[in-house]
Amino acid sequence: MEVSVFNIKGEDTGRKVTLNEAVFGIEPNDHIIYLDVKRYLANQRQGTAKSKERSEISGSTRKLGRQKGGGGARRGDINSPLLVGGARVFGPKPRDYELKVNKKAKTLARCSALSYKVQENALIVVEDFDLSEPKTKSFVEIVNNLNVSGKKVLMVLPEANKNVYLSARNLKRAKVAVASDINTYGVLDAGVMIVTENALAKIEEVLTK
C-alpha cells in the first residue's frame, strides 16, 4: 500500500512511501483494542482515594440511645455511619488498578488502531522537518497547510524534538508523540495522524521486531 508524501507547506512532493502491510494493513481486532485501551485507562488511575472507616474515626464509644423504642434506626456510638460526621461504610481504600496485557496483544492492538487510521484516510505522511524556534504559530500553519485544522491531531516524530513539542503544547487539539511511544488509545483518540518519514520507519521497526 502506497501513500503520498507531503511537505509542511501541504504540497505533494511527488514521492510515495510503501506502508508495511503487517502494521498498517491488517484486519483490525476490536476485542484486543478494547483490552489495550482498558489497560491504558486503568493504568492512568492513581488509586489514592481513601475514606475513614468506623475504627479510624476519633470519637466517644458511648451508646447514644437505647436499642429499641426510639422510633429510628439502631445506632451505637457517635461514629455511626448513620450520623453526620460519622464513618463511611465500605469506602474506597488505596489500591493498584494496573492491568496487564501481553506484549504480543499490545502490538496487535496498535497495529489494529493504525490499520483503522489508514482505512479512514486519516494518516498523513510528511517529510522530516524541524522548527528553528518554538512557535505555536508555526505549528498551526503546518496543520492548516495539511487541511486538518479543526481535527484532533497527533503528530508522530522519530525522536523527541523540543521546539515542535513546545509549539504544540498550547493547542488543546494537538499532541506530539515519539514513534516508539505511541499507544492504542492515543492513535484512536486522534482524528488524524501526521507522521514523518523517519517516524514511519521507526513505527514499523518497533511493531515488526
Percent of the chain with pLDDT over 70: 100
- Residue 135 to residue 144: CA distance in whole angstroms: 15
What pLDDT does 82 receive?
87
pTM of the model: 0.83
| CATH 3.40.1370.10 intervals, the chain | 2-28+101-208
pLDDT in tens, 11-70: 999 999 999 999 999 999 999 999 999 999 999 999 999 999 988 888 888 998 889 988
Q: Name the pLDDT band for 150 (thresholds 50, 70, 90).
A: confident
CB neighbours of 179 closer than 8 A, spacing ≥ 6? 156, 157, 158, 159, 195, 198, 199, 200, 202, 203, 206
CB 158 within 8 A of CB 200: no
How large a percentage of the chain has pLDDT more than 90?
A: 79
Q: What mean pLDDT comes out for the span 185-199?
A: 95
Query: Among 23-37, 45-59, 110-124, 181-195, whose mean pLDDT is lowest?
Result: 45-59
Return the SS3 of 185: helix
| Cα separation, 81 vs 203, whole angstroms | 54
SS3 of 153, please?
strand
- Domain 2-28+101-208: give its CATH architecture: 3-Layer(aba) Sandwich (3.40)
Q: Which of 108, 114, 106 is nearest to 38 (CA)?
A: 106
